[in-house]
Chains A and B, each alone.
Chain A
């Protein structure tokens, strides 16, 4: 996917994200929030919309929503109002969704996002609003399950969602993805949402328009629905840029519409035109009272917020002497930052731990498609391993080879080193024998080194390493090599 800007048009993107709040029960019903339960088993008369039921707001959902609003510097409104969004669909039991419309929970705010095209600099993406609403159920049209019929599963109906709407501040699909990653990180930092796209609890709609570079007026926008993976977000936006640019290039006009991305064809497809849009007949839900939040209530939530990524990043640089890039990388995920802190608290030496995490642990995680939370590697194990390397008990090369296994299966690194005989060879006799053998085999290289071609030394060191199975203690090896070449004084 190209990250280069479009030559003719500036791309303008705003995102609407729906994140499932991490509550035990639904937004207005005591029914449990589950994943993968039997269809229609996580339900209650309220989320079935039986006659006579009434909604009662879940206080925990409000607290989590305030956390997100505060963490993204939004203004939490002293009064917000739940409204009914009326439309008919079988997976919407009441015939309306309870959402917030004219008076949302929070407005304003921003995220500082490190953009891929700006040399690692951060850019401010403004948020329009954050509000709470309930999820719909699922309509199942799968012929294998339902035949001609449509089946409805209401387990998800009424689950608490947070809708986070950005201003049109994003300028490329890659920026959109970067913003989504930053938002996901923030949601997880404050424990508000698992923000897991695969499980559908982090979903994204995008508004996108094109305008000629230098033009200040926004172009006609279209809305892309249900972009349910990071890959899809970028692919769908790229596809829609192509579609809109094609229309504009041909002198046509983009029509306001809602589109869907078809991953199979890699193209966007118009679902409905704006002029055919539903009239949702929003009005304040008379079954609920306005949500009133005092300053004291908001401040209580603020006091309970964990240290956020930016503050933590600064502290890591200050306390552990990390480079800014390393600190930022570690702090992108709260779990990763927690892992680092736990490891660093064991033996110190944060800078070298950060190095190991960035170079080896993250690599191993990526290889296996894991998140740090899923890794079997304990922070203490990594700290022990790195300490042993520093002490010369094992070579970096041997230690590195252990990381993927530790990530996958866990275990005590010190015992693994022992069991597999990976202790560093610093025994002078053994090293001398290996060095002598290498010097005999590569007489030509020895000549070149003696003639002053210093880079050949690394070749010879590499050959000795190979012969010792990578276990040679590098410092001892250099000393023995110099000695055998007759360089040292002794």
Chain B
């Protein structure tokens, strides 16, 4: 069968409900399309046999009138940093080559309970460190809109798999923009929930105080259903929020009348590509036409966000990645004669350049004599950035910004210039530092590449963000645009 793109969750759902298709057929279509787009290198592993068996089970459930959730029987893709019992998880790193987890992550448990079917794990920057999915032991992923360009990162495989119509939904993780940035570059919706909204149990850690699992869909509505499936308290994660998560999908009423949209003046200065600036301004104008009010707000500490982020994220990463020592699992260098030689060679061989760079940086900022100047100072600035948002949200309901100051760059263009790569995270890292939710949604094109609008909200207000995104999508068509080769 020709590998036609899959529809949205809603379209798949309706086709299933009306008996026009089956989970088995959807999964076959997904798998075929993933194979047909192998050159984009979006998947690191397909779980074809398991997915087929799960699809049969889902079809049997449907035949008996049982429906676990709106995601029951729907194929999706999962980033390669969430463990699942009996299956390999590598974080796109050589150091975890062959690692098979004996336990399942909280997110995968919830997706299994919802009846969703993972067709495979997606490519990413090694240990989620990067903005281009180029730092992968499996090689770089490519953007379906232009295979010479990056899909963004670190959840590039997941974002691009949704954009390419391989799956209607995908799971990613966002530490400094790793969901929103690739969503922006690939023209799909990406949601980074409030810190603590989604369980981190079984998410391979990059930076514990910033990491959060979220998802991708082609519409805000689809993304809301996915978020509803994975949200909720998990006692195995001490930073998980105990309160029950309200359902986002129920909040999408299309109404933004009277809603105040804050535009941070610090985010609309120089350095934004004109096409991006124009598309984001037009999106805000569209919200205004729908009844929302635009108001300028200020985030005075925004200029320190990138520096603060890279101090905290690398410090935590240097400690989180210490466990990959070759002693218990994963890669171990052969032929070492001493313990320190085993450590040195294992980690030298096992980690890629970007991960090493961040471990070194993080080790440095935590070192005696530097801790106060770097790590402690960064924590203090983090508090100020959080207060910036508290202050701003007293004057507005949501904040709207460009997700990225540019569109997807060319593969290889930035790999030799890590600092430039870091600086492009300027609009996304603050949400992680403040622990607040963020959504990126497509809002047009600049020179043929998708542009992303970022909406930020107060803690636990994912539903509000998705309501605004959904309202925008009810009156616009940017999210229906498909990459040229998939039209």
Using a CB–CB cutoff of 8 Å, the interface residues on chain A facing chain B are 45, 48-57, 84, 86, 88, 90, 93-96, 150, 152, 279, 281-283, 285-289
Contacts and interface: CB of A to CB of B under 8 A. Distances in A.
Contact of B205 (A52, A93, A279): A52
Nearest to A57: B238
B377 interface: no
B366 A88 contact: no
B interface residue count range (under 10 / 10 to 19 / 20 to 34 / 35 or more)? 35 or more
B238 A54 contact: yes
Contact of A50 (B82, B209, B329, B371): B329
Nearest to B337: A148
Contacts, number: 100
Contact of B323 (A94, A150, A152, A283): A94
B453 to A, nearest CB: 30
B325 interface: yes
A96 B322 contact: yes
30 contacts: A45-B102, A50-B102, A50-B328, A51-B96, A51-B99, A51-B101, A52-B82, A52-B83, A52-B202, A52-B205, A53-B201, A54-B200, A56-B236, A57-B238, A84-B319, A88-B322, A93-B323, A94-B322, A94-B323, A95-B319, A96-B319, A96-B322, A279-B367, A283-B375, A285-B208, A286-B207, A286-B208, A286-B316, A288-B238, A289-B238
Contact of B327 (A55, A90, A283, A285): A90
B327 A152 contact: yes
Contacts of A94: 322-323
A283 B105 contact: no
Contacts of A150: 339
A66 B319 CA distance: 29
Nearest to A278: B368
B371 A283 contact: yes
Given A52-B201, A54-B237, A287 B325 contact: no
Nearest to A280: B368
A286 B203 CA distance: 14
A52 B316 contact: no
B238 A55 contact: yes
Nearest to A154: B328
B363 A281 contact: yes
A56 B235 contact: yes
Most buried by A among B203, B239, B325: B325
Max chain A C-beta neighbours (<10 A), residue from B105, B202, B322: B322
A55 B205 CA distance: 13
Instruction: State the 8 A-B residue pairs at the shortest beta-carbon distance, nearest first.
Output: A95-B322, A286-B209, A281-B366, A286-B208, A52-B202, A51-B204, A49-B323, A279-B368
B101 A52 contact: yes
B103 A45 contact: yes
A67 B404 CA distance: 54
A57 B236 CA distance: 10
A95 B322 CA distance: 5
B362 to A, nearest CB: 9
A88 to B, nearest CB: 6
Contacts of B116: none
A281 B319 contact: yes
